[in-house]
Chains A and B, each alone.
Chain A
Amino acid sequence: MLAEACTACGACYLVCPTVAQVPALAGALPETVMAGVRDLLRGSAGNEAAIAFAAACCRSAICADVCPERLDAAFLMRLASLRVRGALGDPRVATKDDPGWSARVKAFARLTMTEEEQAKWL
């Protein structure tokens, strides 16, 4: 539904603070990027710039304040970001697995919590 309502005007792209830090977005047109993001949300291929933009989304959420259609652009970008990371199909960008995450959290818990706290809090 967000994809259908988005007009790909690029207002969200223009205020995003991460755009300048992503080399793949140098010179990209906001309208082209957002048309690609809209495609990604529909399950289509999108374009390279749209994939780079969605992959770089770090949830600054400034975009949510500027959409002329009053869409929750931050949520739209979150969904696009999940898609390119492969949440609903093949990933479009390389993603790092962190198989040690759970064991690491528990190891630190053993260092900073008493046994009683671990039993109650984890």
Chain B
Amino acid sequence: MAVAPDMRATFWYGCNMARHGEIIRLSTRILEAVGVDAAPAGGPGYCCGSPQEKSARIAAGMAERTVQKFNEKGRDQLITWCPSCHMNMDDFMAPVTEAAFETQHITQLLQVRRDRLRPFLTHEVKARVLIHAHHGFNGRVPVNVDVPDLLRMIPGVEIVESDLRVPGHMCSALASVPNGLANAHRATLAAMADSGADTLVTIFHSCHREAVTLERGRAIQVMNWIHLLAAGMGLDHSDEYKDWRNAEDPRAALGKGRVSALGDVAFERLVEPELTKKPVV
């Protein structure tokens, strides 16, 4: 995959994607394939302010610090992943703190460079795919068009027609709506059944980490669009988080070594409650 890069960028993966290190790794390799040298940056140290938006002062301070850190990297392109981060950069961050970079979403960049990506998609992947599409964000960045367009380049992939449009810009936003996530998952399962799809493909991380539980007891698979592109490139795309989340005993699934490396207390307080959370449907 030796391609001489013609763009140096920061890949801002957001914060919660730390649960899916392999998506960050694979995104970087896919970007590398289309000529982008992308340095990942994310986590609480690069916060867009969303988690603290109860306080405009705190959120603004975090956002200012993040823009300054990106400026210091000396890379003139910022590639976003998370729709909240992307919109906050557009709406509040760059207009307030001068940004020495241009911002674009990863789907936009890959769509523009799709002809460079196509030669790498040589591995057949048999999948009838339903896209887990939300209403929001698509007006800013046409993800509901670009993601299926990119996936259609993978040999064997069929994208089913569906009018599924889940409210909100991503699933975590549905926390503000009574039974919002449960209704979204029911609608998604109904669309899977109606369309005969066998693979649900999520676009955003907050959707993916909840949707993986839909595999339980059902003959479907749930993948993120980056996993599917990686499969088409013949790259290992194992989704460990999905395995942990759907395991009867997440501690055993992680294994003693990893739990003790993290620490029992950290595992029990910070990781186990999420991995054992009951699915909403």
Contact = CB atoms under 8 A, between A and B. Distances in A.
Contacts of B176: 55-58, 81
Contacts of A78: 91
Interface string B12-26: 010110111110110
Contacts of B91: 75, 78
A61 B170 CA distance: 12
Contacts of A65: 139
Contacts of A55: 176
Given A59-B168, A61-B139, A87 B53 contact: yes
A120 B176 CA distance: 34
B205 to A, nearest CB: 11
Given A58-B136, A60-B167, A104-B274, A109 B21 contact: yes
Which one of A23, A108, A110 has the greatest number of beta carbons of chain B within 10 Å?
A108
Interface stretch (A5-13, A27-35, A93-101): A93-101
Interface in B118-132: none
A105 B167 contact: no
Nearest to B274: A104
A107 B262 contact: yes
A60 B136 contact: yes
Contact of B18 (A17, A64, A109, A120): A109
A102 interface: yes
B18 A108 contact: yes
B134 interface: yes
Contacts of B25: 117
Question: In terms of DSSP, what is the predominant structure of the interface of chain A?
Answer: helix
Interface in B57-113: 59, 87, 91
B135 A121 contact: no
A14 interface: no
Contacts of A74: 136, 139
B167 A108 contact: no
Interface in A71-107: 74-75, 78, 81-82, 85-88, 91, 95, 97-98, 100-107
B279 interface: no
Contact of B167 (A58, A87, A120): A58
Contacts of B21: 109, 112-113, 117
Nearest to A62: B135
Contacts of A61: 135-140, 169
Interface string B174-202: 10111110010000000000000000000
Given A87-B55, A104-B270, A105-B43, A59 B240 contact: no
A91 to B, nearest CB: 7
A1 to B, nearest CB: 14
B234 interface: no
A21 B177 contact: yes
A112 B261 CA distance: 12
Which 4 pairs between the two chains have the least Cβ-Cβ distance? A112-B21, A58-B168, A109-B18, A58-B173
24 contacts: A21-B180, A21-B183, A22-B178, A56-B176, A58-B173, A58-B176, A74-B139, A75-B91, A87-B55, A101-B44, A103-B270, A104-B270, A105-B16, A106-B44, A108-B18, A109-B18, A110-B262, A110-B266, A111-B271, A117-B40, A121-B24, A121-B42, A122-B18, A122-B42
